[in-house]
Amino acid sequence: MQDITPEGGVHIRDNALGETRMRRFALYLITAVVFSTLAFGVGHVLGMKQKQADTILLILHGRLAVNEEELRALVAAKGLTVYWLGPEAGAKYLLNTSIASGISLRVIYSSAGAESTGAGETYYEIGTFVAPDAFALTQKAGSQPNGVGFVNADGNAIYYDSRDPKNVYIGLKGVDIQVEIFDPRPEQALAAAMLQGRIQKI
């Protein structure tokens, strides 16, 4: 828009309009930057949460090993009932909650003379299973052919098949939980089941 000067010349109207436009442009630019930053921040947080959720899912399905501290934290956070033989120095743990009626915990460690999984790892495995009247159920199994049954020093019922002592079952007294120990090393599972105070809840 133009104004006529007293001398008959013309000049551009004062800079007020241009300054207003510049202010609006700056405001739009700042707003765009703020919203872009917020969107990136929210997306980053959501991405991190999704990554954490994916990691936890892998752990709970036995696909990712954790250390003792991580195992204890996850068991507590998820309210899981898991029994083990206590912490092993330097061990890693594979937790699998996707098996029927129970939870499996594979303890991966290094020990001279221990069997290998075939992937350069030595291990044993503890299963925690919901079993109504677990003590009586396990005690009764000891009367089967080739079955061996007794009550250990903790007052829990023990059963194993004399033909395959690598698997030992413990019916816990007073709770509906049966624990299974599998150890590929001869007699190690039985030794663990017999030792007082060895079967522990995480």
Q: Which tens digit of pLDDT belongs to each residue from 8-46?
A: 454 445 555 566 667 666 666 666 655 665 555 544 444
Average pLDDT, the chain: 82
> Could you tell me if residue 7 is inside a domain?
no
From CA 157, how far away is CA 140, in angstroms rounded? 9
**Share above pLDDT 90 across residues of the chain, in percent, rounded to a whole number:** 58
Are 93 and 168 part of one and the same domain?
yes
Are 195 and 159 part of one and the same domain?
yes
From CA 129, how far away is CA 93, in angstroms rounded? 18
Span 101-112, mean pLDDT? 82
Q: Which domain holds residue 84?
A: 63-201
Summarize pLDDT for 135-173 with one digit per residue, the tens: 999 999 999 999 999 999 999 999 999 998 999 999 999
- What's the pLDDT band for 53 if we cut at 50, 70, 90? confident
3-class SS at 17? helix
Tokens of 30: 């700042």
Highest mean pLDDT among 31-35, 106-110, 175-179: 175-179
Span 81-92, mean pLDDT? 94
> Could you tell me if residue 6 is inside a domain?
no
Contact yes or no for 83/95 (Cβ under 8 A):
no
**Among 114, 117, 187, which residue's Cα sits nearest to residue 106?**
117
> Could you tell me if residue 156 is inside a domain?
yes
Contact yes or no for 98/62 (Cβ under 8 A):
yes
Q: Residue 34 has what pLDDT?
A: 59
Buried b (16+ CB within 10 A) or exposed e, 42-80: eeeeeeeeeeeeeeeeebbebebbbebeebeebbeeeeb
Q: Residue 127 has what pLDDT?
A: 98
Q: What angle do CA 98, 99, 103 make, to 5 degrees?
A: 85
Summarize pLDDT for 94-104 with one digit per residue, the tens: 999 998 889 99
Are 125 and 32 part of one and the same domain?
no
Of the listed ranges 2-16, 43-57, 116-130, 139-153, the one predicted with least confidence: 2-16
Q: Residue 35 has what pLDDT?
A: 60
Are 183 and 158 part of one and the same domain?
yes
From CA 96, how far away is CA 39, in angstroms rounded? 36
Are 48 and 74 part of one and the same domain?
no
| pLDDT over 90 at 111, yes or no | no
| pLDDT over 60 at 120, yes or no | no
Are 27 and 102 part of one and the same domain?
no
Span 120-124, mean pLDDT? 79
pTM, two decimals, is: 0.71
From CA 154, how far away is CA 195, in angstroms rounded? 8
3-class SS at 68? helix
